[in-house]
A and B are shown apart, each in its own frame.
Chain A
Amino acid sequence: MAKKFKNYDFSGIPIDQLISKPLLSIANAQTQMAEAQAHSIIENCFRKGRDGNYEPVLIKMSMTRSVVQTVEGQKPRMNPVKTYFLVPLISIIPFSSLGIDTVHIDFDLEVVAHFSKTDDDENDPYHQAHPSQNTPPKVDMIGKVTKKSHSQENNDAHTSYSINIVASPVPLTLGLRNMIDLYTKSIEPVEMHERHDTTTGRY
């Protein structure tokens, strides 16, 4: 996925904001995506029990295996035996985490103003850490996005500030992976009753 934002007027914005704002926006987008997925997992793969705790939603699976049956005087026969077992739904859903993989922020910058602060503030963290040294002057720069060289060739009068975002599958979070592992490893034979409560979906 790639998105381009163009034709914005970036005149006189502190340079650190020019750089950091798109990154913050991307981090916020990533957070929203993660929250939506977490909400969906809780909504679909768990249900709130009577005690207020979340319980995994279970689905029914069947297992068929052949059992050799021997009857005296007859040839041994292979009989299929079907067993039902319950599996947490979360352990079979193919989760994927779609995340922003790479971001290219591309713009040409023109510094329109800069100023330095030379006040040696006692509260300055650098001054507190290095009391014997003079506080280096702080320089703030105001910049604006300028026309890109190739834009000039195309007679494009607008400034260009492009952000290319590439979203791709990213590793599942450790917590979710551990949870899936935990539920998957807990799949083992347990004797169950044939009763199925259709209102709660429980077996």
Chain B
Amino acid sequence: MINHQQAMPCPHCQQDEIPFDVKSLLRGYQFKCPTCASVVSLAPESVEQTKTVIEQFEVLKQQHANV
């Protein structure tokens, strides 16, 4: 499974899930809860940390692909 279809429970209404794409989050995109219309985004101070980890996983994936 690649969890491309990522979603998190809405922290506000807890009724629905907010679908998101982590690369779009890194670019500053916002994602909306389909039920309560709350909008979530990544805080600017966490962008770099998240980006670094995702890049490391991408490198690892490439290494595996080249085995």
| Most B Cβ at <10 Å: residue of A37, A64, A92, A167 | A92
- What 1/0 flags go to B4-39 for Cβ under 8 Å of A? 101111011010000010100100001000001111
- Residues of B near A169 (CB, < 8 A) are 1-2
Contact of A95 among B3, B42, B45 (CB under 8 A): B3
Q: Are A60 and B12 in contact (CB under 8 A)?
A: no
Q: Are A63 and B11 in contact (CB under 8 A)?
A: yes
Q: Are B46 and A65 in contact (CB under 8 A)?
A: no
The reply to whether the CB of A42 lies closer than 8 angstroms to some CB of chain B is: no
Q: Are B57 and A92 in contact (CB under 8 A)?
A: no
Q: Are B46 and A60 in contact (CB under 8 A)?
A: yes
- What 1/0 flags go to A42-69 for Cβ under 8 Å of B? 0011000000000001011111111000
When chains A and B are docked, how far (Å) is the Cα of A85 from the Cα of B9? 12
Q: Are A189 and B12 in contact (CB under 8 A)?
A: yes
The reply to whether the CB of A129 lies closer than 8 angstroms to some CB of chain B is: no
| Most B Cβ at <10 Å: residue of A57, A93, A180, A196 | A93
The reply to whether the CB of A111 lies closer than 8 angstroms to some CB of chain B is: no
The size class of the interface chain B forms with chain A is 35 or more
- What 1/0 flags go to A100-115 for Cβ under 8 Å of B? 0000000000000000
The reply to whether the CB of A96 lies closer than 8 angstroms to some CB of chain B is: yes
Contact of A93 among B22, B39, B67 (CB under 8 A): B22
Give 8 pairs: A residue, B residue, CB < 8 Å, sorted on A. A59-B43, A62-B43, A63-B38, A63-B39, A89-B53, A93-B57, A94-B22, A188-B9
Given contacts A44-B57, A98-B65, 16 further A-B contacts (CB under 8 A): A59-B43, A59-B49, A61-B42, A61-B43, A61-B46, A63-B38, A64-B30, A64-B38, A65-B37, A83-B12, A89-B49, A98-B64, A167-B65, A170-B1, A187-B8, A189-B11
Binding site for A on B (CB under 8 A): 1-4, 6-9, 11-12, 14, 20, 22, 25, 30, 36-43, 45-46, 49-50, 53-54, 56-57, 60-61, 63-65, 67
